[in-house]
């Protein structure tokens, strides 16, 4: 069992010589869950209103094996989704995407779709706050990378440029996001530094 502070509790009181692991070391692909938890915390504290956008799906076929249960057998995406999250903070519109990678040296641009970049460009054009949260699992680090810094890398890849953004670039041009409890991905503290 793990308590919210990340400390492991052994119910059999067996003591080992093994060193306790860092509280964020075994997260796996959990960035969106961590952001959802952080957003609930922010909302409960009245700091901002940010929600995950639902993916638009058209249900085509449903089976009803029993009266109280329905099983979706066939469904299709109605349209291409844009970014993962949007909302309001200090009177400004927020729009951002959350991505994770197991790569150590770079973040592959193939994680994005053209319609997502186009959407982010529209948000920036209308003076919204737009960014990507990128988590490098190997380092247990999450970075805020402003969309305006992402765009040149995205467009350059189609002109014989790199198809990824080097880790060192994200580290130097982005900003590391503090992690802790209860704000697992405290992105508002970075927004305050970069945009206000």
The binding site for Mg(2+) comprises 82, 84, 97, 116
Which residues are within 8 A (CB) of 88 and not within 5 positions of it... i.e. 6 or more apart?
A: 48, 49, 50, 94
Q: Which residues are annotated as a binding site?
A: 82, 84, 97, 116
Residue 190 burial class via C-beta count within 10 angstroms: exposed 0-12, middle 13-18, buried 19 and up: buried
**Can you name the residues that pair with 138 across neighbouring β-strands?**
none
Write the DSSP assignment of the chain as a string of letters. Answer: -B-TT--B--TT----SPPPPPTTTT--S-HHHHHHHHHHHHHHTTS-EEEEPPP-EEEEEEEEEETTEEEEEEEEESS----SEEEEETTEEEEEEEEEE--SSEEEGGGS-HHHHHHHHHHHHTT-EEEEEEEEGGGTEEEEEEHHHHHHHHHHGGGT--SEEEHHHHHHHSEEPP--SS-TT-HHHHHHHHH-
């Amino acid at each position: 069992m793990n308590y919210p502070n990340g400390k492991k509790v052994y119910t059999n009181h067996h003591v080992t010589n093994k060193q306790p692991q860092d509280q964020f070391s075994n997260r796996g692909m959990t960035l969106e869950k961590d952001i959802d938890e952080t957003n609930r915390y922010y909302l409960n504290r009245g700091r901002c209103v940010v929600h995950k956008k639902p993916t638009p799906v058209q249900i085509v076929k449903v089976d009803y094996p029993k009266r109280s249960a329905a099983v979706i057998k066939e469904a299709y995406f109605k349209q291409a989704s844009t970014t993962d999250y949007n909302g309001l903070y200090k009177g400004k519109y927020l729009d951002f995407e959350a991505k994770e990678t197991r790569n150590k040296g770079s973040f592959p641009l193939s994680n994005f779709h053209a319609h997502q970049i186009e959407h982010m460009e529209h948000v920036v054009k209308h003076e919204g706050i737009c960014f990507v949260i990128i988590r490098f699992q190997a380092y247990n680090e999450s970075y805020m990378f402003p969309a305006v810094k992402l765009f040149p890398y995205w467009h350059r890849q189609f002109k014989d440029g790199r198809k990824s953004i080097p880790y060192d670039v994200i580290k130097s041009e982005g900003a590391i996001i503090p992690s802790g409890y209860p704000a697992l991905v405290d992105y508002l503290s970075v927004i305050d530094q970069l945009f206000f």
